Structures are given as C-alpha cells and as structure tokens.
Structure 1
C-alpha cells in the first residue's frame, strides 16, 4: 500500500525538478577491503516501529464491537427474551456451532457476522413465538484461544488471548519484534501449513491500517528475519532505519515513512555498491528516484544549513577512510591531515568527482549523437557507394553501441596546476594516493597487452616489442601515454625509438589506439575524437 503511493508523493513535491573539470555536486568512489566492510546504518538511528511494543497492546485485550467478526465455537452469546416469555442467560457456542434457546431449540450461529447476530437469532425465535416475544442477542466474549508467536520476537511462546484480539496483542505479549533482527514488514499468520494473512506493520504505523483477523487455537504468528534497510535522518520529521523488500528501494518511497521537512531540498546519500562505497549529494527531486541498497544512509539537508563536507580517501594511507571538513575547505586542508605510507606516490595524487564524470559522459554522448547523425543522413551518389555506405554504417553503429557503455572516471587533473592546492573540495570527493609504481602497462592494439617492469633505458619501441608488437588494427603513427596524475602525452612515430626520459614514468599506461578504417573523412575525424575521449576519461582503449 505504501509502495503504491510513491507517484502521489512525487506529485506532492512536484518532483522538484567538451571535456572540462568544473565544480558541481559530487560522487565519491572508494574501493573497500571486503573484511573491512561494515553496514553504513548508524546504531544511533532508531529502527522504525521499535517503540510499538511497550505493553500498550497486551495490557488492553480487544473487547470492543467488531461487526465483521464471525461467531465461532467457544464464543459466549448473551441472550435476552422478554414479553410473553422471559429468559436471560449467556449461552456458549457448542462444538456443533449452535446455541440452545429454551422453547426454540438449537440455533446455528457459527459463521454469522457479529453485526448480524441479533437479527439472525430474532428470526429463529419468531418461528416459535409469533407474537409478544422480543429478543436481544449480542456477543459477550469471543472464544479464548492460545496462539503461537515465534520467529524474530524477543520471547517466543504460546500465549493466551481471545480470537478477536489483534496480532499486535500477541506480538506485544511476546515482548515485541527484535529490533536488530526482526522484520516489521514480514509478519505471517499461519493456520496449520496454510498462510492465513501476511501483515506489513508499516501500514499500521503510517496509516493505522490493520487487517481484522479471527484467530483460532493453534494459529501461529511468525515474524520473519529483517530485510534490507536504509537509514534516513537529517531534515526529516522522524529519523529512522526503514526496512524494505527487494534488492533496492527508492528514497521517495522511504520518505512516505520518514516524512521530510518541508524545507529539505538536498539529500546526502552514502552506500556500498559492488564492494565500493559511494557518496552523492543530490537535489531532492533527483534523489527521490535514486536506487538505495541495503545499508544506505541518507541525510536530508536544507541547503543553506550546510556547514561541513565529507571526502573519502583511499590508497597508501594510514588513518580514516573519510574526513569531515568545514564547508569551503581546500585540497591543501585535506592533504595536511593525511598520514602517508612509505610506498605512497605523493606526486600522483588522484582526485575523482562525480560532476566531472557527468560532464565527460555528456560530452561523449554529444559526440556519439553527432557521429550517428552523420552516418544516418549521408546520401550515396551511386549504387556502389550505397553498398559501401551500408557496410560502413553497420560498423559505425556497432562502435557507437560499445562506446555508449563507457563509464568516465571523473578524474580532476591536479598536475601542472600551481593553484591545485587552493582548489575547493566538494562533498563526496574521492582522493586516491597510489602506490609508488615500478611497472609500465601496454594496452590497446598490441598482441599481448601486459604490464612490464619500468626501465628508463627502454624506448616505446622496446615496450611495444615486449608486448608482442602492434596488432593488425593498430595505429602505428601515434601512441598515447596516460600518466597516473591524469595528464596525457601524445607521441608520434618519430620518437618511438627515443628513451623519453622524464616523459615516460613508472605507473604510466602506453595506449596503442586502433586504426580508423573509413573512407569518409568526417567519420574518421569523429571516431578518432571519441576514441581519445574514451581513452582519457576511462583509461581504456576501445577497439574499432
């Protein structure tokens, strides 16, 4: 029921809605040691619903009028007859489902709705007493039952109650749901081996909705194991760890429970995806549909309240994996706090930023769109050209499909910039300090892409030869060297046999680009641009 309201909630909020290195919202990515992974949920954030079971239900068994309750064996029916014949007694519903009315005989009431009981009994009385006798019947007490409560509750056991009592009564009697291991959204009521009802207590907590169940002796209430949960805090009306079913959920659905502050306009999201911790700072309307995975932590923010940022660090460092810095902190402020290991390469510090990756991605998409338009709109002049163009277009389309899968890293180039230290950091930035390297990688269009021990006496030609030589599709006119610090060098074939002292360094990647085989000059130019864009942005060579 709650899930169905996501669109409604989005409507209420209105769903508030070129390779450059700009400042913008940030996404950090940090490789985690699997042994060090811990759930991001904070123990200080309460579990949603944990205050539900504090004795208020078990101390107040339900004795009110439930018109939908069906009379069953063991119930007590209070019957009053007056007029020409008087009678007053509380009659039990016997094992055959009858009450015995003097002068009338057995009346089968089992299965009759409580709201219709009086009229039902009166009709049977009138069959004997045609005139001057009136009747009044009401359910005095429902059947006493014993119900098993088990699963992830604090005190599993067999509990006394009435068939009209709600499952909240029995759960409370069992000490409530275990806050650390029990589920508030996966509660089952079983009758034998049959599922009688599946209950999501969030519907009761948020909307007051609770199914009216009629329990019997031996029924079982089973609380399942806790599902995935996310932590919602900050500018919300109720900070809580909120449970959900499935591999992931969305913030919009979680906010139906947590209820955002009306002035909240940004969300800071931290979660682990594919063994990597990711953090993002997004406008709320964009964050509403962001997938949240188990263990995610979300903090809603009023943008004008931001006083601090968090930056993750990884690599050859001792100390914390993230730092909280004052809003407006610079790269120098962070670097001064780091404790480098002996093998750290401080000259090749890398900074990654989501906004940069987004810009790289947008620029790549524009180039791919332009290339696709160029190929699809070109008009052949002859039948021979038509055949060649069709074959060429198919090849280009295949290349475009591959290129759209490229994922830019978003590296901010710090080298050769005297003002890098004074650059403002953004919330969610990721800083990586690499290991001092002793190898050079050769990738792309070579026979055996590999990593080789760096030797300053070797030339580019030597490294290519040690990688098996150029592949048939290699561009042998130029090589690209991608340095650890994000800078690149383009070396033409006249320098392949030079040692390039200082220009080729340990940790570099020698990238052998593919040769573009196209009869169309513009296509060749466009594809070349895209290949270089992908190589720089993703540190990978795409074949053509």
Structure 2
C-alpha cells in the first residue's frame, strides 16, 4: 500500500463538475521513449479465408448470357435439313468461324445469349429454306494471366477467359495478410486500367464484376492503406481495411456485423502521438472517427471481462490501462510511473456513475427551489411586487445553475483501506503537478493566483486580490483543496495563520451573499451555490 500512504483518502466525499462539452476521457502525451503503437490484434484479416484452394481447384468453364465471344473460343455448330454439318470451330485471330457453304462469320464480341440467332441469320442468308442451325459455345479461350503486387506467389497462371479473378488470386496463394489490400485490386490490359475491384463487395454482398480476361492481362494487388480491428460482440471478429486517412466505426460495422445485443464500444487508438481510450454507448460510438491501427471491442454491458481506466498528468507511460474486471485502486497505482514533480498526495479520481448521482442531486435541489418560488402566495400587493421581482431573479439563477454538469470526483484522503476500492470501467485518474500557488476566485475585485506564503492569512490573500466585491459574503470563506476536500472558515479566523489548513494548490473561494426576503429561499440558494462552487472550482454569481 506504499502509494496510498501519500494519498490521503476519505471515501464517501463525492464532489466535482465539468463543462458540458468535456470529453469522456482525457489523454496524455506519451514519453518520447514510449511506443505509441497499439499492439496488433490477433484477429484474422477480413477475407483471408477466401484463398484456401476453393477457387483454383474449381475452374469455371460455364458461361453466362452476357459473355462475349472472343478469339480462341470453341463453338459447336450443327447444321441439318437440306445440308448437314457438325463440328467444333475455333474463333480465329480475326474473330471469325468458317461455316461451310456460308463462309467466314465474324462472331467476336457477340454475346453468348445471342450467338445462336446471330449464326442462324448468316446461314439463312445463303440457305433460304430447309436448313436449320444450332450454335453453342463449348469452351472459352485458354489464357495466361499475370498476378502480381502484394500476393504470396506472384507469377503467370493458366486458366480460361471465363475464370474469375478469384481463381487467379487463389492460384497465386492469395493476398498477403500483412501488406496486401482486399479493396484495391486492379485488372490491367496493356497500359490501361480495365477494372478496379473491391473484394469486400463480394464478401458482404456476393457482387463480382463479370470480366473476360485475355492472354497477358495482369491482376495487381495494391498495398494496404489502413485498417482497424473489430472484435468482441460481433458476428465475425476481423481486421478491416479502409481507404483514406480515417473512417468511422459505423462504416466498419457494415462489413463485420455487430451482435444484436452489443451496446457499448471500447476504442483504443493513437491520434497525434497520443494514445486514447474511450468506452461509449454503441449508438454514440458509430460516428467516432477511427484512424489506422485503431482497436475496437464491442461489448454487452452485462458481459464485461475487463475495464479501461484513463490516466493523465505527471506520469510516464500509457494514457490508459486495461485491467481485469474487479481490479482495485491499488492494482492501478502499483503500475503508474510518477514523474519527479507529481503530487501523489492529491491524486484525483473521476467516475461516471458518481457524476450521474451528483447531477440528479443538483436537479432535485433546483426543482425544489423552483417549486418553492412558484407556489408561494403573497399576502399583500406590496409582497406580490417584491415576489415577482425575486422570482425572476431566482429563475435566472436556476437556468444558469442547470448548465453545471457533474464530473464525478471521488475524493481520496487518509484512509488506509482506500486501495481496496474497486475501479469501474471509464474511471479517470489524474496526478497533478506539485503546486506553489494559491488562487482567489469568486466575489473579489481581481480574481487571481498568488505565490503561496505560509505567513499569509486569508485576510492577506483577499487584500492582494483587491478585497471583497460589493456582492461578497464576508462571513465565511470556502477553501477547495487540490485533493478535492474542502474547508469552511468563519470570519473570526480570517486573520489567523491557517498552518496545515491552507496548502499550495488550494483555491480560496469567496461566495456571493444571497439576499432574499424568504429565509427558506436563502438557505436553498446558498446550498446550491456551495455545491456548484465546490464541484466546479468556480463561483456562480447570484
């Protein structure tokens, strides 16, 4: 428990608010000697199972109606009636077949589905009647196709013009797992691009362009651009490729479908040399921008086996830690690498579940105050006028107070058992820098930060901040300590040296004086002001 001897923990004190647009997880610049690369996932590359011999062992010799006859194809021709003939004719280099008594018929480029009618018309141009014809494509041209780029075995491979590019890729051993692209496949004829193919369309939709390859055509596999790993509660855990500098999680999930019960996403990635980790509801995470190398784990919130905790401040090492479910505060602290200027006595822990409770408590207080103001019945016309003015002022205060959003700080101070506290997924730990100043905020003339001096009293600090403003509560001051605890000091002690009560890094908070004709309203507003001030380290005017 060596880390906790310097902490000081009082479990149960819960404070802290944050700005509405604050990010869910802070990040920390990694030390230059630390690697910012996220370890590669062991999940398979999406599509790598395509190339296991299923295509190269089954060449495609059949034809669809849109197949166009080309040089080298074999056509079975039958003539009967007044003239009989039966033979298999090869399409010659000029694209013709020679029909006896008819002559050369140019069939290159004719669709397979139209071949019979096309040949029959030429036959009838000579045999006006009593001769019938039947033409059928029997075999396509044998071809040799180059396969190169990021494949396992680049080379020249035999096949037929009707074979798909999957046949030739499989013959070449498939796309290289570590460097080849499944979405950047090009078919080149001479110096011209014949077709660009994205194999994800075949994997997810069964869509494959119908290409007729020729001798000397080249299939080129490009280099992988970027990829992210998707695992956990998905139908197929995989490393998924994308084009461009970044993508979004929603686009990646169109490829590898999420489990219907998945409702959270844990995302880890490096952005601008900063390693970031976040744990977000799946709906919110769909628009998250993902950069190459990102790792995403979809989870069911009732099936969490590990938790992510972010750390920031005066630390070396990663900006987030993945710990087993049930890990304690001490488990995390024992892994931290503190810098020389770290203030280990003021470690701050922020928790989402606490923030929700704080928010609910604040809303209840504001609702009660609003009800009190709106339901009070004046006795005289004079009271009615005063109440109307007072109600407007309270309503304005309530509107401003609702903008405060809890941050959920769990204050740590002086409890030897604090290390046994269980961490929660999404917790955020901050280790501040050792401080040498004291801040004075709130209802003073010049809110400022001053160098700490043990000889100074609260009265001295207030004077150096220009003195109390006209709206200041001069009967009590609040001291917000760096570790999140608070001290309330009455007026009679303003000119005392506070020894250990006031410490470097503290904030002296001068609260506004609440002026209301109603005692209950004064008490309610004062309570809310103190709650917000302690949580946000700022004083809300009244």
* TM-score (ref. length: structure 2): 0.70
> How far off is 1:533 after superposition?
5.0
What whole-Å deviation, never above 9, does each CA across 1:502-531 have from its counterpart, x for those lacking one?
Answer: 222112234566789999999998887776
Task: Tell me: CA distance 1:322–1:390, structure 2 relative to 1, closer, same or farther (3 Å).
Answer: closer
- More relative contact order, 1 or 2 (CA 8 Å, 6+ apart): 2
SS at 1:211's partner residue? coil
> How far off is 1:350 after superposition?
1.8
Pairing partner for 1:115 from 113, 116, 127 = 113
Alignment partner, residue 502 of structure 2: 504
What whole-Å deviation, never above 9, does each CA across 1:474-526 have from its counterpart, x for those lacking one?
Answer: 77776543322222345566655544332221122345667899999999988
Alignment partner, residue 256 of structure 2: 257
- What RMSD over aligned residues (CA atoms) do the two structures have, in Å? 5.3
Unpaired segments ≥5 residues, structure 1: 1-18, 22-26
SS at 1:410's partner residue? strand
Pairing partner for 2:482 from 481, 484, 491 = 484
Alignment of 1:98-247 (within 5 A): 99-129=97-127, 130-138=129-137, 140-142=139-141, 144=143, 150=149, 163-172=161-170, 176-187=174-185, 199-215=197-213, 221=220, 223=222, 225-233=224-232, 238-244=236-242, 247=246
Deviates more, 1:214-223 or 1:164-173: 214-223
Alignment partner, residue 82 of structure 1: 79
What whole-Å deviation, never above 9, does each CA across 1:389-414 have from its counterpart, x for those lacking one?
Answer: 999899779957xx64x664322122
> How far off is 1:66 after superposition?
2.6
2:263 is aligned with 1:269: no
Take 1:322 and 1:278, find their aligned partners in 2: how far apart are those partners?
6
Take 2:112 and 2:374, find their aligned partners in 1: how far apart are those partners?
73
What whole-Å deviation, never above 9, does each CA across 1:325-379 have from its counterpart, x for those lacking one?
Answer: 664444345546666565443322222222223444555677788999999999x
Alignment partner, residue 63 of structure 2: 65
Deviates more, 1:187-196 or 1:481-490: 187-196
> How far off is 1:181 after superposition?
4.3
Take 1:356 and 1:208, find their aligned partners in 2: how far apart are those partners?
49
Take 1:179 and 1:267, find their aligned partners in 2: how far apart are those partners?
29
2:418 is aligned with 1:426: no
Take 2:366 and 2:270, find their aligned partners in 1: how far apart are those partners?
28
Take 1:101 and 1:416, find their aligned partners in 2: how far apart are those partners?
102
What whole-Å deviation, never above 9, does each CA across 1:86-114 have from its counterpart, x for those lacking one?
Answer: 1524232655x654534334545454332
Q: Is the 8 A contact 2:228 2:296 kept in 1?
A: no
2:286 is aligned with 1:287: no
Q: Is the 8 A contact 1:239 1:258 kept in 2?
A: no
What whole-Å deviation, never above 9, does each CA across 1:258-314 have from its counterpart, x for those lacking one?
Answer: 664x8x76756142486463343x7xxx436524533133164694684x6554555
Take 2:160 and 2:196, find their aligned partners in 1: how far apart are those partners?
20
Q: Is the 8 A contact 1:29 1:276 kept in 2?
A: no
